[in-house]
Amino acid sequence: MPEYQIVVCGSVVPDPLQTLEPVSGPAGPALKNEMMLPAWLDPWAGHALYEAANLAAKNPGSKVWLVALGPKAKLQQSMMTLAQKVPFELVALDGSASGFTDAAETAAALAGAIQAIPGFDRSKLLVFGGWESASRGAGATMQIVGEILGITDQFQGVDGIEADGRLRILERIEGGRHQVSVCEAPPALLGWATGNLPEPRNNPQVGMANMRTIMPVLQKAKPAKIGAEGVTFHSVSLPKQSRDTKVVKDLPTEQIAAEIAGWITNK
Amino acid sequence: METILFLSPTEAGSPLPKNALEALAATKQLADSLGTTFSVGLWGDAPKADDIASCGAARFFAVTGAEFAQPRYATDAAAAEALCRAANATIVIGPAGSRWNRVLAGVAHRLGGRADSHVTGLSASDGSPRIARWYYRQRMEGILSRTQRPWVLAVESGIVPAWHGEPGTAVVEAVSCTPPAPRSKVTGIESPAADQQTIRPDADLLFVTGAGWTKKQPDGQVKTAEAEKLILAFLRLSRASLGSTKSLVDLGGEGHATLPFLTHMNQVGQTGSTPRHAKGLSTCCHGEEPHTVGWRFVGERRAISLDPNCGWARGKADVLYVADAFAVMEKVNGLLARKAGG
């Protein structure tokens, strides 16, 4: 049975139910009341973490690290929930997780943290992350992490992996299809889409075990200077999205159906 | 003066797809705006440039070889890197799609440049290029420029009309590229059977199903089988593309009865797709922000919901029908079937 070192990269993002509004800050655009917004681990990175834990559980001797980037207070907030989901060892980077930072700077910090993991072994290494973030949403960070680590077997939009030494990987491609690839062996990098696993239920025992190591790691989180050097934002604005909604009540079903059918077929 | 390169993978025996021709048109427009020329770089098994010979490119480059046929990071990145170096490009523009999106940031890193994806606008201001792209899952739009070069971009489909012109004979300069020995190979494509394929990117209509389809109906019964029948019949009659909310897709993973033809691939929104369709019809969905951010590029929007105060009523749809979607869609199917039957 192969052993894997699975390193999951992720940053914190604002809760998607919050209203987000851009403001101009001293270092460029930012979110209004950004430090007040509740945060959690980026959803696609979360899927990557659950898939990593599942793969590690199937391959005894494997281990999962989460290299997480964000302001220390936000990391701590998100770990309170996340720690109860699956076992992992945290590597914390205290730095900006703003969507307006540059993927290359984020990637450099993440890759540096991965290379500093004690016992880092490229021959067992699987680097996981979200294929995009819910903040910058560029799909760029993981590719650059892979380049810095010298990994040229990269897969994006991953929804499935089977690992028996060789890796069989499903990647999303156009038209609701999956491309199937086989990679001979680690190292490999996988940017996950949603995968196929449900969100694990909270497990207090896992939470207690994780938190024993997470809190000291958070206290000693390494500062990471991340910005967007060379980028000038000329504007950041909310779209004029509000529509003048016509609410149709008390109309007979037949009439509604006729309206909709007419609207659909009217090119 | 910028040196602009349009870059695209090719498939043997196939012309450049629509999204590539759109990116080509965007490249040409940017070059015109900046008062400069552009080149074309293609790679693949046997890339041909004759179909776009009259596009106005100053030079054509190609990396050719059987190893470049597969959509695979190692070989695609190597080919793209070689083409960028051959063209000495400062701006590189490719079509957003799984193949280019997989490698563009890695290629930019190799070249010492920077990458931006999901570009929805290209313009020139004071002789410098600017791009528009969205942040926080389509919640806000930024317009930016960069000092780093090369600047490697992936242009979204649908922002400019596709280039079209007369074919001709392109003089193609061969570019040498020796990729690392591949450790990965593409072994196939998994796709649903043609009659079960519910994701249709080119459809005029996006039809979204929400979790309400699997909830108890006014008579106290769950009617999942009926929902399945109605939805599949509508898709067959309308040729719409099927989208879903996260909550409905997640039900399956949690072991609840749900609609078997829905997968995470259908999911639209925060952790799903942001498809482009002329029209969208939402059913049994509350229209909350994490879902509706996926509707940013859907033109006309209508919704059917029993809740008159749902998210769709708050400026997210053009029309909200406060009605029972089961009853309405049954009638709609009847009307569409009658129309199809002549």
Q: Could you report the per-residue pLDDT of B131-154, keeping only the tens digit for each?
A: 999 999 888 999 999 999 999 999
Chain B positions touching A134 (Cβ under 8 A) are: 136-137, 270-271
Tell me the pLDDT band of A88, cut-offs 50, 70 and 90: very high
Could you give the CA distance from residue A74 to residue A113 in angstroms, rounded to a whole number? 19
| pLDDT at residue A241 in the model | 62
Q: Do A257 and B77 touch (CB under 8 A)?
A: no
CATH code of residue B219: 3.40.50.1220
C-alpha closest to that of A256 among B326, B126, B84: B326
pLDDT, tens digit, 9 for 90 and up, residues B192-249 = 877 778 998 889 999 999 999 998 888 888 899 999 999 999 999 999 999 999 888 8
B165 and B198 housed in the same domain: no
B115 belongs to a structural domain: yes
Chain B positions touching A127 (Cβ under 8 A) are: none
B121 by DSSP, 3-state: which? Answer: strand
B166 and B26 housed in the same domain: yes
Tell me the pLDDT band of B65, cut-offs 50, 70 and 90: very high
Q: Flag whether pLDDT at B254 surpasses 80.
A: no
The residue from B174, B202, B236 where one domain ends is B174
Per-residue burial over A101-128, b if 16 or more Cβ lie within 10 Å, else e, is bbbbbbbbbbbebbeebeeeeeebbbbb
Chain B closest-CA separation from residue A202 CA (Å) = 14
Q: Flag whether pLDDT at B171 surpasses 80.
A: yes
CATH code of residue B144: 3.40.50.620
B199 and B167 housed in the same domain: no
Q: Do A144 and B106 touch (CB under 8 A)?
A: yes
Q: Do B115 and A22 touch (CB under 8 A)?
A: no
| pLDDT at residue B342 in the model | 62
B181 belongs to a structural domain: no
Q: Flag whether pLDDT at B110 surpasses 90.
A: yes
B119 and B209 housed in the same domain: no
Chain B closest-CA separation from residue A216 CA (Å) = 31
User: What domains lie within chain A, and their CATH numbers?
Assistant: 5-223 (3.40.50.620)
Q: Flag whether pLDDT at A248 surpasses 70.
A: yes
B230 and B120 housed in the same domain: no
Supply φ then ψ for residue B215, to 5 degrees. -90, 170
Chain B positions touching A261 (Cβ under 8 A) are: 332, 335-336, 339
Residue for token pair 């992720």: A10
B188 belongs to a structural domain: no
B67 and B136 housed in the same domain: yes
**Minimum CA–CA partner of A253 in chain B:** B328
Spatial contact of B306 and B289, defined as CB atoms under 8 Å apart: no
pLDDT, tens digit, 9 for 90 and up, residues A108-156 = 999 999 999 999 899 999 999 999 999 999 999 999 999 999 999 999 9
| pLDDT at residue A206 in the model | 97
B289 belongs to a structural domain: yes
Chain B closest-CA separation from residue A5 CA (Å) = 19
Instruction: Give the residue numbers spanning the domain of B304.
Output: 194-340
B155 and B27 housed in the same domain: yes
B16 belongs to a structural domain: yes
Q: Do A140 and B104 touch (CB under 8 A)?
A: yes
| pLDDT at residue B253 in the model | 65
pLDDT, tens digit, 9 for 90 and up, residues A250-261 = 999 999 999 999
Half-sphere exposure of A132 (CA within 13 A, CB side): 25
Tell me the pLDDT band of B255, cut-offs 50, 70 and 90: low
Interface size, chain A vs chain B, as Cβ–Cβ contacts under 8 Å: 281
The residue from B146, B174, B202 where one domain ends is B174
Helix H or strand E encompassing B208: strand B205-209
ipTM of the complex: 0.94
Q: Measure CB to CB from residue A102 to each of B114, B186, B265 and give the nearest one.
A: B114
Chain B closest-CA separation from residue A156 CA (Å) = 6
B9 and B78 housed in the same domain: yes
pLDDT, tens digit, 9 for 90 and up, residues B283-342 = 999 999 889 989 988 999 999 999 999 999 989 999 999 999 999 999 999 999 999 886
B179 belongs to a structural domain: no
B163 and B206 housed in the same domain: no
Number of domains in chain B: 2
Helix H or strand E encompassing B261: none
Read off the pLDDT of each residue in A173-182 and give the average, rounded to a whole number: 94
B225 belongs to a structural domain: yes
B221 and B326 housed in the same domain: yes
| pLDDT at residue B262 in the model | 87
B333 and B256 housed in the same domain: yes
Could you give the CA distance from residue A177 to residue B199 in angstroms, rounded to a whole number? 9
Question: What pTM, to 2 d.p., does this model score?
Answer: 0.91
B169 and B269 housed in the same domain: no
Read off the pLDDT of each residue in A4-30 and give the average, rounded to a whole number: 93
The residue from B114, B145, B174 where one domain ends is B174
Q: Do B339 and A236 touch (CB under 8 A)?
A: no
Identify each DSSP E strand in B4-127 by its residue range: 4-9, 38-44, 59-64, 91-95, 114-125
B82 belongs to a structural domain: yes
